[in-house]
Amino acid sequence: MKEFNRLILALLISLIIWAYAKLNEDYQFVHRIRVEYEISNKNLTLLEGTDSVTALVSGKGFDLLKFKFENPSLFYFLDGSKLEGTLEISPSNLKPSQNVSLNPIQPKVITYSLDRITKKILPVSPTIRGNPKLGYIYLGWSVSENVTVEGPRRILENLDSIPTYPIDITGKTRDFEVLAEVFTEGLNLKVNPKKVRVFIMIDSLITRTVPVFLGDTSINVKIQGPSRILSPIVSLRGSRFGDSIFVEVPENVIILESPMNLKQKGY
């Protein structure tokens, strides 16, 4: 038994010595490194900037294990004295600091641009995905409130509204309300509030036959549309323009059948 224990101990010592020797050898691998920025001027924000670089990381086995475990970023401090520029890439910018070499690097330099921070009140425009159940129709949405958006001036100047993450209406058969999150991913924007109540309008489709009055005469037509719009309709008004007959119908209402060729126009 003692001989067996000695053998195991010898094997462990040999393994430790072998591992130590291997970890002191040089290795290399390709790695994508994040780029992070800190801006001292609180009135400025990052408009555009290189977000990552690809580098051949070289070093001793011990150092590369530490690099893999800590997964450092390239960190750059910007004082705002220049609104745009380029920066050289160096291992000294790695945080946590690392004892490795980065060569070659793509791209070789990183670029950035800064912009003034501003605020703007914007309406929310929900993103709708899917379709209601067959025999039903999506009529639209309403939003409870506007939101205050803070971010780069040049981005906010081009925004008239801000979307939400997609709201799925697949298979829906009635109105419903949802608390939707405002979409800001990749836009470097802050929004308050981050979520808004969105009311989604969905109605059943119904079919009715109603008269269309054309001066002293009338014809019957079959129309289809949302229940809340079609139910109050008792007749439609038509008009002649040359050889054409136009019928005034509400939005989302269509003429299914008619004794003659009619053209629809909105109210």
Is pLDDT at 115 greater than 90 in this prediction?
yes
Which of 68-72, 166-170, 249-253: highest mean pLDDT?
166-170
The whole-number average pLDDT for the span 104-131 is 94
Which of 3-12, 139-148, 179-188: highest mean pLDDT?
139-148
More confident residue, 20 or 229: 229
Tell me which H or E stretch contains 81: none
Confidence of residue 12 (pLDDT cuts 50, 70, 90): confident
| Bridge-based pairing state of the strands 147-152 and 190-192 | antiparallel
The whole-number average pLDDT for the span 37-49 is 92
Is pLDDT at 134 greater than 80 in this prediction?
yes
Is pLDDT at 4 greater than 80 in this prediction?
no
Half-sphere exposure of 128 toward its Cβ, with a 13 Å CA cutoff?
A: 20
Mean pLDDT, the chain, as a whole number? 89
Strand partners, 26: 60
Is pLDDT at 19 greater than 80 in this prediction?
no
Lowest-confidence segment of 10-19, 105-114, 185-194 by average pLDDT:
10-19
Measured between alpha carbons, how far is 62 from 19 in angstroms, rounded to an integer? 10
The whole-number average pLDDT for the span 156-180 is 96
What does the pLDDT read at residue 266? 65
Is pLDDT at 214 greater than 90 in this prediction?
no
Q: Are the C-beta atoms of 188 and 155 separated by less than 8 Å?
A: yes
Strand partners, 106: 54
What does the pLDDT read at residue 179? 96
Lowest-confidence segment of 115-124, 244-253, 256-265 by average pLDDT:
256-265
Domains (ranges, CATH) in the chain? 21-116 (2.170.120.30), 118-204 (2.170.120.40), 205-266 (no CATH)
Is pLDDT at 140 greater than 80 in this prediction?
yes
Is pLDDT at 170 greater than 80 in this prediction?
yes
Tell me which H or E stretch contains 176: strand 176-181
Q: Are the C-beta atoms of 33 and 73 separated by less than 8 Å?
A: yes
Query: Tens digit of pLDDT for each residue in 78-87?
Result: 998 899 999 9
Find, among 74, 61, 76, the residue nearest to 29 by Cα. Answer: 61
Assigned token pair, 27: 């290795």
Measured between alpha carbons, how far is 66 from 94 in angstroms, rounded to an integer? 13
The whole-number average pLDDT for the span 214-229 is 89
Instruction: Please state, for a pLDDT cut of 90, what percent of the chain lies above it.
Output: 59
Lowest-confidence segment of 1-5, 77-81, 86-90, 129-133 by average pLDDT:
1-5
What does the pLDDT read at residue 2? 64
